[in-house]
Amino acid sequence: MNNPSPPTSDTLQDPPIDHALPIVGGKIDYTKFLDCVHCGLCTSACPTYLETGDENNSPRGRIYLMRAVVDERIELTDTVQKHLDLCLDCRSCETACPSGVQYGRLIEPFRVDTHKRDAATGKKTGGWFQSIFLHGLFPYPKKLRWALAPARMMQDLKLDRAIDAIGLPKLLPTKLRRLYQQLPKLQRRGKQFPHTLPAKGEKRARVGLFTGCVAEAMFSQTNRATARVLQENGCEVVIPNTQGCCGAIHYHSGAEKPALEFARQNAEAFLSEDLDAIIINVAGCGAMLKEYHHLAEEIEGTDEATAVKLSQFTAKVQDISEFLMELGPREPKGEIPLNAVYHDACHLCHAQQIRSQPRELLSLIPGLTLTPLAESEICCGAAGSYNLTEPEMADRLGQRKVKNILQAEPEAVITGNAGCSLQIQAVLKNKGEPLPVYHPVDLLDCSYRCAPIEDSH
């Protein structure tokens, strides 16, 4: 018999609801559900709906599911869980929504609640991979750098190619293999930042630079470039060494206490300085930093003083492109003859509504042309650690993105988020189309320095 047996009335029946545990999502402000008028305009903005065509995998559908769980119309079964887990949290739906539904403020607390329930019921989630890599290693740039050192040495010695060739990576557990395949060309670690870097020319602002964890380990040169570009634009740059991970990985996987801890640590690190702005060059971290004040609202028992601090911190956070365009960038002179496409990182265009600024900055660079990219605002599948937790959908979206990129026939891809860079680079490499992927400041920095782009990394 080829087919699994059809569901019987038994399997179709809802299991009894256990009232001993609090309802998942029960503490979410119910009016946030009511904001959704079920018009469906969000559906086609959602990458997972675009791929599957199933409304259970659309923002409207997920809101319907979460609300039904809260209303106790349905149980949070594995099936429902699967649909909610498939959400990239890319916030594309918030851009599309005419009614201003704050989808992120529904799915994120709902996920936190789910993790809490799982912890309480002893349900296994994440497992060794989450605890060792996502929580134990990723947030700590030094540890991560050490862990990555062998990989970089292999790359330097071109050993990685040999390893690929004999198929050794296939012996790794799936998630580790994906992690291995995601590795970019690792950069030599940049010089340790001093606490303060002076402004060039007339001083126009004093800013803090958030260097991040994965970013500092894998893209330390982009951080150096960001600092130089800021200096070039008359900014004194402060890099507090007490800053930590933004906490997004924890928060999005439901570990809210460590997330709040990181938030507090970062607020303290930067608020002790007298800063005009806090600059971030990674879209994902930026979105998280800009939402710290929601953490205080959503995490029970957060004291008032912390809430105030987080709000003060949030108010100062700006993406590098957003900040430069507001400040008025100095004109870069160095020519970079390059035909590139710009991919809108979800956490830049949807979560932070930053679209024009990076493009405007890039348009200042002599010789650089931007070719329009189809579906530039559709997620590439990276979505933080999503490509490790939902590999199948991440692959589909990665392929979709790369197909669009290759159609535009560019010489390079530009994007303002570390995760997108990793994902796009990996898929391109897999396809045998290894286009370089740059951060806008990589190119801006080269242009200011009149250096060739090969120097960007």
Contact 140, 213 (CB under 8 A): yes
Task: Return the CA Rg of the chain.
Answer: 22
Residue 53 or 150: the one with the smaller Cβ distance to another protein is 53
Q: Does 84 bind another protein (CB under 8 A)?
A: no
Q: Tell me the pairing of strands 338-343 and 368-370.
A: parallel
Q: Does 192 bind another protein (CB under 8 A)?
A: no
CA distance 235 to 374: 36
Of 446, 445, 447, 442, nearest in space to 222 by CA? 442
In whole angstroms, the minimum distance from the beta carbon of 169 to another protein comes to: 28
Q: Does 1 bind another protein (CB under 8 A)?
A: yes
Residue 39 or 153: the one with the smaller Cβ distance to another protein is 39
Q: Does 85 bind another protein (CB under 8 A)?
A: no
CA distance 291 to 276: 19
Site for another protein in 15-44 (CB under 8 A): 31, 34-35, 37-44
Residue 310 or 380: the one with the smaller Cβ distance to another protein is 380
**Tokens 């050192």 — which residue?**
149
Q: Which stretch binds another protein (CB under 8 A): 95-103, 305-313, 322-330, 420-428?
A: 95-103
Please state the φ and ψ torsions of residue 339, each to the nearest 5 degrees: -105, 115
In whole angstroms, the minimum distance from the beta carbon of 23 to another protein comes to: 15
In whole angstroms, the minimum distance from the beta carbon of 197 to another protein comes to: 36
Cα 326 to Cα 59, 135, 439, distances in angstroms: 33, 35, 19
Angle of helix 59-70 versus helix 104-121 axis, rounded to 10 = 50
Residues touching another protein, count (CB under 8 A):
45
In whole angstroms, the minimum distance from the beta carbon of 381 to another protein comes to: 19
Q: Does 14 bind another protein (CB under 8 A)?
A: yes
Contact 327, 233 (CB under 8 A): yes
Cβ atoms within 10 Å, residue 360: 13
Q: Does 96 bind another protein (CB under 8 A)?
A: yes
Contact 404, 433 (CB under 8 A): no
Residue choice 24, 33, 64, 288 for contact with another protein (CB under 8 A):
64
Q: What is the C-alpha end-to-end distance of the chain, expressed in Å?
A: 57
Q: Does 8 bind another protein (CB under 8 A)?
A: yes
Site string for another protein, 362-401 (x = CB under 8 A): ------------x---------------------------
CA distance 152 to 33: 47
Binding region for another protein (CB under 8 A): 1, 3-9, 12, 14, 31, 34-35, 37-45, 49, 53-56, 60-61, 64-65, 68, 73-75, 77, 79-80, 83, 96-100, 374
